[in-house]
Structure 1
Amino acid sequence: MTTTTPVAAPPRAARVATWVYFGLNGFAVGLWVVHIPNIEHATGITHSTLGLLLLVLGGAAFLGMQVAGPLADRLGQRRLVPAAGVLLGIALFGPGLADNWWTLGLALALFGFANGSLDVGMNAHAVIVERGYPRPIMAAFHAMWSIGGAFAALIGAGTLRADVPTEVTLGACGVLCIVVSLATSRYLIEADVPDEPEQHEERAKPPAKLVWALGGLAFGLMLAEGVANDWAALHFRDVLGTSTSTAAYAYGAFAVAMTIGRFATDRVAAMVGAMAIVRYGAALAAVGLTIVIVVPWVPVALVGWALFGLGLAGGVPQLFTAAGNLDPRASGALMARVVGLGYVGLLAGPALIGGLAHWMPLNLAFILPVILCVITVLGAPVLRAPKD
């Protein structure tokens, strides 16, 4: 993998600014998620129609990633990231104002495109900031995304309890996203990439197989994450027979463990390296989910979901960092491929498990993400690929 001369002593402000954008992205997505029931009711759509519109959102996000990656390389992250943040704030108005299926579809297409654009841009900027530090810092950025989502859940719960109209909540938070994006943009930085004419062509083309390998691993790990997001609580309720309130603890154990793990990953990665984080993290995730599959006792299954979250916590940030450092001159475009494949996995996971659950018990359907975690264990050595 190719590296570049790091930016000169990047200010702490650039790191904090990146935290802000990650938190802002998680906050915006979380607000949409907690208001889905209200929006579904307001637009009069069915669950099946909502499912189709969610595919529109996902497809638009993927498109946004592929457009934003090359734009980030051409225009620079200092322009792309705040522009995407502002667009996301504007897009947040849409779902609250929609009154039928097609206006909601248009709103979600814009929201997805903005979300995908910001996702790639902020990850590419995080790689630039990380180059100026003597140790890994990427996983903490991803933890801030989770923190942003948690704040959205708290604010959403409060406004819903107070019967604040959905369009008012989303609109006010959209304005907040716009203001924060613009105010934070001054602290972003650009990579200091030295000009090497003689080696430019060679360096501009990292091995395609390596890019696809990183993307494939991201696909597998994010598919596993998507399974936990959508099926952990249902596993407790439908397989273990718990109440709905108790079932919520399954996803809670996973989410809390993943967030804590992401805050801890950077220091561990500095000691053992990215390959070890991906390999042993995936192994731990496989063990945790295997416990979930075979153990019928709630307390032990909670431990299994927590181990699953802890194991998955650090892998994706390491893969994104590796992709961003393959070639600093095309960092955005390369990250768009890897992040995009990971996002496809995140969307595909719940659907695949749902399909398998028609043919077998839900817990046995979890064998698929276990297999993908094992494949990640075997594929982790791609992170040791030669740098030149």
Structure 2
Amino acid sequence: MNDTASVTAASQRPAPIVTRERAAVALLFFLNGMVMGAWAPKIPFFSQALGLTESMLGLMLFVFGVGSLVMMPIAGMQIARFGSRHVVQITTLLYIPTIVLITLVDSVWTGAIAIFLFGGLTGAMDVAMNANAVEVERQMRRSIMSSCHAFWSLGGLFGAATGGTLIATVGVMGHVLLLAGLAVVLFLVARPMILADAPHPSEEPVRARLPLTPLPWLIGLMALFCMVPEGTVLDWSALYLRNELNAPTEISGFAFAAFSLTMAACRFAGDFVRDRFGGVKTLRVCGVLATVGLLIAGRSDSVALALVGFAIAGIGISNMVPIAFSAAGNIPGLAPGVGLSVVTTMGYSGILFAPSLIGFVAEHTTLSTVYTAIPALLLVVLALSHLARYADRVNAA
């Protein structure tokens, strides 16, 4: 009896902290974040090459969001059919050339097609790599999702911090060719280590339908309002520094870089902090920090102070979305995939569509006003923060 108990306990122990499969999915998150981070300092040149006004650029970013939300469910269906390992490889190989494609466009229509593919394939890759991360968590019996998103933030930091300097040094085309080459190398390193999806015969099939309970929709609203500020920093911070605070090109990408740096550091610590203090308290502290940081950035009259504000906002926003996603997967009486599908779709619509609407607002006001007003959304998150209790493992059990 004791021997049987010992064997059972040993089989349920978590895997080592670092495994080949975890390294592979971390590289994929880093690759995706690196390309998206490099897009931030490239946006002003994309806009200039096509002669776009702020509202026209906002429309282009809207097309980016449409592409993502069109291809995300397609990727999900293919994952169900072929497994995340197969889909993440295909989407990554298709995604990498799109950063070159959006540099070659010379008209508004070709730009719209290119940015649709860019947004669509980054969204498809995002779904696939998150699905693979879930599989790795199951294999390791250890939470890794926050650290995976931390690697995405590190990639964003690297792409944003080097983008402006490389563009100024080797030009726009030289920058994207170096970026695409590095992305291919990272993929080739990760590819043989990517975990193949394991069957889960104990799981009962769940009929695909939208949940009628309001709980996942409320948590989805939290995710939406947490991701709107992240999308605003990604797509508009470079223009804000350059156009309103007169920052040089080499510095313009540093807003998203500062945001990504603090976000990555805090996401690595996110699981420990949540286990120590609970989801509700962690979410509330993060919400207050994000609000303060965005207000500092929006009311700043200097580049240095704005960068401090974006860095503080990165600390706050870092673990808000992972907490919302964890809560969605642990809603009582609801299959984990059903709640998570609602929350991720609503959340990603914030990071994809909101920045395009901000273009129309910014044309009639200023980006300073935008960054000052965005924290109002976080007040709604704070009002709903009690729902973060579902992210705690004790409540989930």
Task: Find the partner of 1:53 among 43, 60, 67.
Answer: 60
Task: Find the partner of 2:381 among 376, 380, 385.
Answer: 376
Distance 1:358 1:112, change over 3 A: closer
Calculate the aligned-residue CA RMSD, in Å: 4.0
Whole-Å separation in 1 of the counterparts to 2:179 and 2:255 = 29
Task: Find the partner of 2:313 among 276, 284, 308.
Answer: 308
Task: Find the partner of 1:188 among 194, 203, 211.
Answer: 194
After superposition, what is the alpha-carbon deviation per residue over 1:127-169, rounded to whole angstroms, capped at 9, x for unaligned? 3323455654322222212222233245544543343561x55
1:213 and 2:218 aligned: yes
Distance 1:68 1:202, change over 3 A: closer
Distance 1:330 1:100, change over 3 A: farther
1:35 and 2:73 aligned: no
1:25 and 2:69 aligned: no
8 Å CA contact 2:14–2:142 kept in 1: the answer is no
After superposition, what is the alpha-carbon deviation per residue over 1:97-155, rounded to whole angstroms, capped at 9, x for unaligned? 32322222222222211100011111222233234556543222222122222332455
1:244 and 2:247 aligned: yes
1:268 and 2:279 aligned: no
Give the aligned partner of residue 63 of structure 1.
Answer: 70
8 Å CA contact 2:146–2:319 kept in 1: the answer is yes
- The answer for unaligned runs of 5 or more in structure 1 is none
Give the aligned partner of residue 347 of structure 2.
Answer: 342
Whole-Å separation in 2 of the counterparts to 1:248 and 1:38 = 12
After superposition, what is the alpha-carbon deviation per residue over 1:44-86, rounded to whole angstroms, capped at 9, x for unaligned? 4433544433221221011121221233233221112111111
Distance 1:333 1:16, change over 3 A: farther
After superposition, what is the alpha-carbon deviation per residue over 1:167-221, rounded to whole angstroms, capped at 9, x for unaligned? x553454355345435523323325534255xx4489986653332232111101
Deviation, structure 1 residue 25 = 0.5
8 Å CA contact 1:120–1:336 kept in 2: the answer is no
Task: Find the partner of 2:176 among 170, 173, 177.
Answer: 170
Distance 1:338 1:191, change over 3 A: farther
Whole-Å separation in 1 of the counterparts to 2:263 and 2:389 = 25
Larger deviation, residues 140-149 vs 30-39: 30-39
8 Å CA contact 2:34–2:159 kept in 1: the answer is yes
Give the aligned partner of residue 7 of structure 2.
Answer: none
8 Å CA contact 1:215–1:339 kept in 2: the answer is yes
Larger deviation, residues 113-122 vs 303-312: 303-312
Distance 1:99 1:274, change over 3 A: same
Whole-Å separation in 2 of the counterparts to 1:292 and 1:39 = 24
Distance 1:127 1:381, change over 3 A: farther
Give the aligned partner of residue 125 of structure 2.
Answer: 118
8 Å CA contact 1:7–1:128 kept in 2: the answer is no
1:96 and 2:103 aligned: yes
Whole-Å separation in 2 of the counterparts to 1:64 and 1:156 = 27
Larger deviation, residues 255-264 vs 350-359: 350-359
8 Å CA contact 1:324–1:334 kept in 2: the answer is yes
After superposition, what is the alpha-carbon deviation per residue over 1:272-320, rounded to whole angstroms, capped at 9, x for unaligned? 2334332321133234445567788988776554332211111112223
Distance 1:230 1:193, change over 3 A: same
Whole-Å separation in 2 of the counterparts to 1:357 and 1:117 = 29
Whole-Å separation in 1 of the counterparts to 2:258 and 2:323 = 23
After superposition, what is the alpha-carbon deviation per residue over 1:295-353, rounded to whole angstroms, capped at 9, x for unaligned? 889887765543322111111122234445669x9877764543332222124444555
Partner SS state of residue 287, structure 2? helix
8 Å CA contact 1:88–1:174 kept in 2: the answer is no
Question: What is the letter of the counterpart of residue 157 of structure 2?
Answer: A
Whole-Å separation in 1 of the counterparts to 2:41 and 2:368 = 26
TM-score w.r.t. length of structure 1: 0.78
Question: What is the letter of the counterpart of residue 122 of structure 1?
Answer: M
Distance 1:67 1:203, change over 3 A: closer
Give the aligned partner of residue 146 of structure 1.
Answer: 153
1:259 and 2:264 aligned: yes
- Size of the aligned set, in residue pairs, is 377
Partner SS state of residue 374, structure 2? helix
8 Å CA contact 1:6–1:131 kept in 2: the answer is no
8 Å CA contact 1:217–1:379 kept in 2: the answer is yes
Larger deviation, residues 30-39 vs 340-349: 30-39
Distance 1:180 1:227, change over 3 A: closer
Whole-Å separation in 1 of the counterparts to 2:104 and 2:262 = 36
Give the aligned partner of residue 231 of structure 2.
Answer: 226
Question: What is the letter of the counterpart of residue 108 of structure 1?
Answer: I
Question: What is the letter of the counterpart of residue 279 of structure 1?
Answer: R
Distance 1:82 1:333, change over 3 A: farther
Question: What is the letter of the counterpart of residue 185 of structure 1?
Answer: R
Whole-Å separation in 1 of the counterparts to 2:171 and 2:242 = 31
Deviation, structure 1 residue 230 = 5.2
